[in-house]
Structure 1
Amino acid sequence: MILLKNLSLRRGAKLVLDDASAVVNPGEKVGLVGRNGAGKSSLFALLNGSLHEDHGDFSMPPQWRLAQVAQDMPETADSATDFVIAGDTRLAEARREVAAAEASGDGERMAHAYTALHDAGSHDARARAQALILGLGFQVRELDRPVDSFSGGWRMRLQLARALMCPSDLLLLDEPTNHLDLDALVWLEAWLKKYPGTLIVISHDREFLDAVTNVTLHIDNARLTRYGGNYSTFEETRAEQLLLQQAAYARQQDKIAHLQDFIDRFKAKASKAKQAQSRVKALERMEKLAPVLTSADFTFEFREPQALPNPMLTLNGVAAGYGDTVIVRHVDRSVLAGQRIGILGANGQGKSTLVKTIARVLPAISGEIVEGRGLNIGYFAQQELDVLRPDDTPLGHMIRLARDTVAVDSSGAFSTREQDLRSFLGSFQFTGDMVAQPVGTMSGGEKARLVLAMLVWQRPNLLLLDEPTNHLDLTTREALAVALNEFEGTLMLVSHDRALLRAVCDEFWLVSRGGVTDFDGDLDDYQRYLLEEAKRVRDSLKAVEMAAKPAAPPPAPRRPPSAGRLKALRQKLDKLDARMAELHAEKDALEARLSGTLSVEAITEAGGTLAQLNEELAREEEAWLELSAEIEALEAAGA
């Protein structure tokens, strides 16, 4: 088990854990939650050994193998498959040992090395790696593409696949869903549910946490508290505890006030001095309860749009894609004022491509998009954080935006004075010196809040949001859901955050197989659809593999098989059976001999003989399969 006892932990000058105690038992699946900056990543650093406790005790079984997602962006020309296979540290070590054993000429060492290589899963490593890669949303044609040919988000998926490939007793996942589409997220949930080791995951996706965790560790004000159950259970339990704590605090405050009132009234009276002094001592001895202190919740709102054209826009025969490559075609749809549309679709089907085309980022390949008069689009792209200027400040971004746009509120022109811009940023938790801090030094959550602030400033009437919750903590996600529900314009949302989709969308469009249709169902229906779609893809892949095999010779004209021919084939098959039994017996005897104490010369000789036996067995098995197929064909022809 993992044990923390009275532990204090610092990251630089900041105390992130103070007198913390907790236990994680083998096989538990733990959600590690808390506000951004609470210390979740610091606790991961303690678990992986890159940070050490300042006080108290920390222990973890020394034999446990640890796996976690590397945070660096991989730069390598290795294929995606080879890169993920390399994540299997046990297999890599076994391969190194085989090479060293062969170079040494030590037969006994070679025998042990070959056995360890087989036990490490060398025979199916490629298939296991490719199953992980495909599960995380890659296409079959991408399995052999160089890693450095993928974009950053896809390379991080490969890092995740590499971590899952690694045999482990403890798996640490820090925001694993950030770069995933909903179909890959559903697959990951299913994989983690079957993971036999201990899992600790940091995530701000409540439905993901509910699906995969059965314990919650909460970091708050440098304290670590364990709760049994998933995230929803934790929320309910904590809410009850806070109510009880506040009630106990209120009762104690009443008692303190009563004691203090008695002391103040009677401390000067000789007849009551003794009783007054007794109450002073009681007050001093009383262990003071702390009030329930919670950080101020983050809230914001979209301003009322200046116009609400209806329809917002109309797509007539639109084809969307990149260059000459069409991904979505024949789109005939209208987007009306006030609609709340969730855009669904498996990875690679064209969700983001459609949104980019509507947002004017990509030109339509064909067809026409008719925009309503006064249409004002606010677009949040998946890569929006990347286009922020890292050397510029939040205030600098807002000043530039104010110069480029005309923002008007219901009472007239909205002031663009620097102080007003500072106040506006303050409403998005950019206070004090933060408005002058370079954006490149900020966290992903802070950058996302800045993008939201810039979006609100533009006062859109059509919001196009493509994965807006990446890097947002739960509090900010909830604030976004509230703001979107109060938004008076039209919303089109692509997101893997099912809680957000459920909270704000009234209808769904499905982008699939090159088209856009209405999806008549809820998100649970959609998850079932994704699983069925994944099965369809797997079946089609199998069909492609079968088609790629050499064509079987055309069947011979149907005629009753020769009884003599069948008899001869069966006799030949019986002889093969007997010979294979002999070979297996020789192999077993030789392997038993190798496991004993032999001289180097004897081991070398036995190793060579074993290799010859394996080769002959492979030939005989292949001949056995061919004979069996021929016998079955003859029998079928005579049926």
Structure 2
Amino acid sequence: MIRLTRLTLIRGSKPLLEAADLTLNPGEKVGLIGANGAGKSSLFALLRNELHADAGEVDFPAAWRIAHVAQETPALERSALDYAIDGDTTLRRLEAELAEAEAAHDGLRSGALHAALQDADAYTARARAEQLLTGLGFSNAQMAQPVAGFSGGWRMRLNLAQALMCPSDLLLLDEPTNHLDLDAILWLEDWLKRYPGTLIVISHDRDFLDGVVNVVAHIDAGKLKRYTGNYSSFERQRAANLALSQAAYGKQQRERAHLQSFIDRFKAKATKAKQAQSRMKMLAKMEELAPIHAAAPFSFEFGEPERAPNPLLVLEAVRAGYGDKTVLAGIDLTLQASQRIGLLGVNGAGKSTLIKTLVGDLAPLAGKLVTGKGLAIGYFAQHQLEMLRPDESPLWHLARLAPTAREQDLRNFLGGFNFPGDMASAAIAPFSGGEKARLALALIVWQRPNLLLLDEPTNHLDLETREALTVALAQFEGTLILVSHDRHLLRATTDEFMIVADCGLQAFDGDLDDYRDWLFRTKLGQAKPARAETAAPAAAPDRKEQKRQEAEQRQRLSAQRKPIETRIRRLEEQMARLNGRKAEVEAILSDGDIYAEARKEELKQLMFEQAALARDLEQLENEWMEQQEALEAIGQPS
């Protein structure tokens, strides 16, 4: 059992946790969530004994073996397979001791060590490591390659393999899906479900959390709160708790105001002094509830694209690759306006190669690519973050795209992507990966593309920004091709899937569950209950028709919602403007100078304006409520 009692954790001058309590039971699979900077990684460091609590206690069995993913990978000449086996430190220690005993011709010690190695499953270690690396996307050839030959993302996969190889009672995983493709995530999810120890995982992938965890620990306002269930269950429970807390806060504020009013009116009257004193004591004893400061939902939207050609582009017998290396061959694709395609395929199959060919970064090695007149592509890929100028600001990057735009318009736009004030004009060098990804998305949105090509857009994005991107893409009126390991994003924004496999591209007549089954049967070598009888996933005969109907329904709902949402935004802008002016008027009226005889006419005008503002605000608020009810009646696009 892990028990945190009155735990206080401070980094620098910032308190992350203050008198926080949490209990986790052995074998539970826990999702640790909270805003960026809330203290999730620091709590991991505390559990690994790399940090010490500033107050309170952290208690769990001293004999527990803890495994975690190393953040650094030395450039070793050691093979990937041997590096993965190194994760089992007990096995490596016993092997070293055996080598010493045999060198010393100590037969008794050697016999004992052979027995210990058998107990440590030493003789299955190689097969277990190969299975881990296969699941994480390594080919047999790659397993023999030196660690130094792998890129940063692949080295992180090797570190993950080491952590999974290590026999452990507590497994700590910090964003384990960040460097994985969908196929590796599905495999990891399956592996973690069968992990017998206690798991604590930090992740921004809601489908992954839903599939793995049965407890959520939420860091909020310096406290830890435990929720039973997966991430979706947590969202429902937290929403209900927030509503109850807000209602309790509102009720208490009314009670406090009532008590204070009585005290103010009667504390000077002898006949009421006793009652006033009594109410003062009640007010002092009343534990003041904190107002609810739920984080404002981050949102943005793609502007309506310029008119698009149809078809947008055509590939005819295209062969794609790099130099002399062919990755894809015989590719035929006609991309029609308003298509929404999710691109599937195991790691290395060629999804990114296809996207780069479509965008023009790679010229076809053979065949023909024809683009329609007026095609405007918005392209997102991880390497584009490296093309951002670290010494320049978000404002500078946007001004390059819009040299004639007013600076205030650019600042307003960037503010909508959470780059307010000084942040908009600060150099992006210290920005996090998530902030840089958000800037890259902002630059795409500004250009109003009619075709979006997105290659893993959610890497480094937090849950709130992922959800905002999901909503924006669901309402995007252009054409979309999406590569993503985020299943929630794929389900919510695409209408059809295509699969890149065996050097080709073809329609995938199934959903993500079908893809999972196909993956485990054909690529990962683990038998899974099949949902279809054929070797490749086959959909029910009416699946395409069902998807078409779902897409039409989603488009109908979006069309119905859009004018209402636009009106709500306009109302909110008007209310903000009137509230601003109302505050100015009330500030002037609270100044005693306004009541001077010489300003009598000005006072009269201000009082008239105050009444008019209150009346107009009431009308706007009533209409805002009506529009919200109308929006709720329509429902969300599924």
TM-score, normalised on structure 1?
0.79
Matched, 1:128 2:128: yes
Matched, 1:473 2:462: yes
The one-letter amino acid paired with 1:484 is L
The one-letter amino acid paired with 2:252 is Q
Match of 2:516 in 1: 527
1:163-220 deviation digits (Å, cap 9, x = unpaired) = 1111111111111111111111111011111111111000011111111111110011
3-state secondary structure, aligned to 1:18: strand
1:68-98 deviation digits (Å, cap 9, x = unpaired) = 1111144122211111111211111111211
Report 1:409-420 matches (<5 A).
Answer: 415-420=404-409
8 Å contact kept, 1:31–1:202: yes
**CA pair 126-105 structure 1, distance change in 2 beyond 3 A:** same
How far residue 401 of structure 1 moved from its aligned partner, in angstroms, is 4.1
Matched residues in 2 for 1:177 and 1:108: separation?
Answer: 46
Match of 1:195 in 2: 195
Matched residues in 2 for 1:522 and 1:264: separation?
Answer: 66
How far residue 285 of structure 1 moved from its aligned partner, in angstroms, is 1.6
Match of 1:276 in 2: 276
Matched residues in 2 for 1:221 and 1:78: separation?
Answer: 45
Identity, in percent, stands at 61
Match of 1:546 in 2: none
Match of 1:496 in 2: 485
The one-letter amino acid paired with 2:509 is D
The one-letter amino acid paired with 2:356 is K
1:132-186 deviation digits (Å, cap 9, x = unpaired) = 1111111222221122222221121111111111111111111111111111111
Matched, 1:516 2:505: yes
3-state secondary structure, aligned to 1:471: coil
Matched, 1:454 2:414: no
Matched residues in 1 for 2:401 and 2:80: separation?
Answer: 40
Match of 1:9 in 2: 9
Matched residues in 1 for 2:116 and 2:336: separation?
Answer: 63
How far residue 362 of structure 1 moved from its aligned partner, in angstroms, is 1.1
Extract unaligned runs of 5+ from structure 2.
Answer: 529-638
The one-letter amino acid paired with 1:392 is E
Matched residues in 1 for 2:289 and 2:525: separation?
Answer: 60
3-state secondary structure, aligned to 1:22: strand
How far residue 314 of structure 1 moved from its aligned partner, in angstroms, is 1.3
Match of 1:366 in 2: 366
The one-letter amino acid paired with 1:258 is H
Match of 2:615 in 1: none
Matched, 1:442 2:431: yes
Matched residues in 2 for 1:256 and 1:537: separation?
Answer: 63
3-state secondary structure, aligned to 1:310: coil
3-state secondary structure, aligned to 1:83: helix
How far residue 276 of structure 1 moved from its aligned partner, in angstroms, is 2.4
Higher relative contact order (Cα pairs below 8 Å, separated by 6+ residues): 1
How far residue 468 of structure 1 moved from its aligned partner, in angstroms, is 0.5
How far residue 50 of structure 1 moved from its aligned partner, in angstroms, is 1.3
How far residue 37 of structure 1 moved from its aligned partner, in angstroms, is 1.4
Extract unaligned runs of 5+ from structure 1.
Answer: 404-414, 540-639
How far residue 387 of structure 1 moved from its aligned partner, in angstroms, is 2.9
3-state secondary structure, aligned to 1:375: coil
Report 1:112-127 matches (<5 A).
Answer: 112-127=112-127
3-state secondary structure, aligned to 1:264: helix
Match of 2:144 in 1: 144
Matched residues in 2 for 1:122 and 1:337: separation?
Answer: 57
The one-letter amino acid paired with 1:189 is E
Match of 1:483 in 2: 472
Aligned partner (choices 418, 425, 429) of residue 414 of structure 2: 425
Matched residues in 1 for 2:482 and 2:476: separation?
Answer: 13
Match of 2:242 in 1: 242
The one-letter amino acid paired with 1:435 is A
How far residue 437 of structure 1 moved from its aligned partner, in angstroms, is 4.1
Matched residues in 1 for 2:12 and 2:109: separation?
Answer: 48
How far residue 477 of structure 1 moved from its aligned partner, in angstroms, is 0.5
3-state secondary structure, aligned to 2:211: helix
The worse-fitting range, judged by mean Cα deviation, of 180-189 and 392-401 is 392-401
Report 1:338-417 matches (<5 A).
Answer: 338-403=338-403, 415-417=404-406
Match of 1:411 in 2: none
**CA pair 165-25 structure 1, distance change in 2 beyond 3 A:** same
The one-letter amino acid paired with 2:519 is L
Match of 2:161 in 1: 161
Matched residues in 2 for 1:386 and 1:160: separation?
Answer: 24
Matched residues in 2 for 1:511 and 1:110: separation?
Answer: 52
The one-letter amino acid paired with 1:187 is W
Matched residues in 1 for 2:117 and 2:139: separation?
Answer: 29
Match of 2:317 in 1: 317
Matched residues in 2 for 1:149 and 1:127: separation?
Answer: 23
Instruction: Please tell me the root mean square deviation across aligned C-alpha atoms, in Å.
Output: 1.9
Report 1:64-79 matches (<5 A).
Answer: 64-79=64-79
3-state secondary structure, aligned to 1:383: helix
Matched residues in 1 for 2:162 and 2:128: separation?
Answer: 11
3-state secondary structure, aligned to 1:440: coil
Matched residues in 2 for 1:438 and 1:12: separation?
Answer: 23
Matched residues in 1 for 2:388 and 2:156: separation?
Answer: 20
3-state secondary structure, aligned to 2:36: coil
The worse-fitting range, judged by mean Cα deviation, of 447-456 and 199-208 is 447-456
Matched residues in 2 for 1:266 and 1:115: separation?
Answer: 86
8 Å contact kept, 1:98–1:117: no
Matched residues in 1 for 2:119 and 2:273: separation?
Answer: 83
1:427-448 deviation digits (Å, cap 9, x = unpaired) = 2112233334443322221121
8 Å contact kept, 2:521–2:527: no
Match of 1:288 in 2: 288
8 Å contact kept, 2:91–2:120: yes
8 Å contact kept, 1:160–1:176: yes
The one-letter amino acid paired with 2:387 is V
Match of 1:564 in 2: none
8 Å contact kept, 2:500–2:506: yes
Matched residues in 2 for 1:364 and 1:135: separation?
Answer: 32
1:477-513 deviation digits (Å, cap 9, x = unpaired) = 0000111122221111001100011111111112122
8 Å contact kept, 1:349–1:512: yes
TM-score, normalised on structure 2?
0.79
3-state secondary structure, aligned to 1:441: coil
Matched residues in 2 for 1:327 and 1:45: separation?
Answer: 42
How many residue pairs get aligned? The number is: 528
3-state secondary structure, aligned to 1:439: coil
8 Å contact kept, 2:520–2:526: no
The one-letter amino acid paired with 2:493 is V
Match of 1:84 in 2: 84
**CA pair 16-126 structure 1, distance change in 2 beyond 3 A:** same
**CA pair 337-158 structure 1, distance change in 2 beyond 3 A:** same
The one-letter amino acid paired with 1:451 is A
3-state secondary structure, aligned to 1:304: coil
8 Å contact kept, 1:9–1:16: yes
How far residue 229 of structure 1 moved from its aligned partner, in angstroms, is 1.2
The worse-fitting range, judged by mean Cα deviation, of 210-219 and 429-438 is 429-438
The worse-fitting range, judged by mean Cα deviation, of 422-431 and 155-164 is 422-431
How far residue 535 of structure 1 moved from its aligned partner, in angstroms, is 5.5
1:108-151 deviation digits (Å, cap 9, x = unpaired) = 32222222233223322221111111111112222211222222
1:444-482 deviation digits (Å, cap 9, x = unpaired) = 211211111122222211110011111111100000011
Match of 2:208 in 1: 208
The worse-fitting range, judged by mean Cα deviation, of 99-108 and 495-504 is 99-108
The worse-fitting range, judged by mean Cα deviation, of 125-134 and 319-328 is 319-328
8 Å contact kept, 2:129–2:165: yes
The worse-fitting range, judged by mean Cα deviation, of 303-312 and 392-401 is 392-401
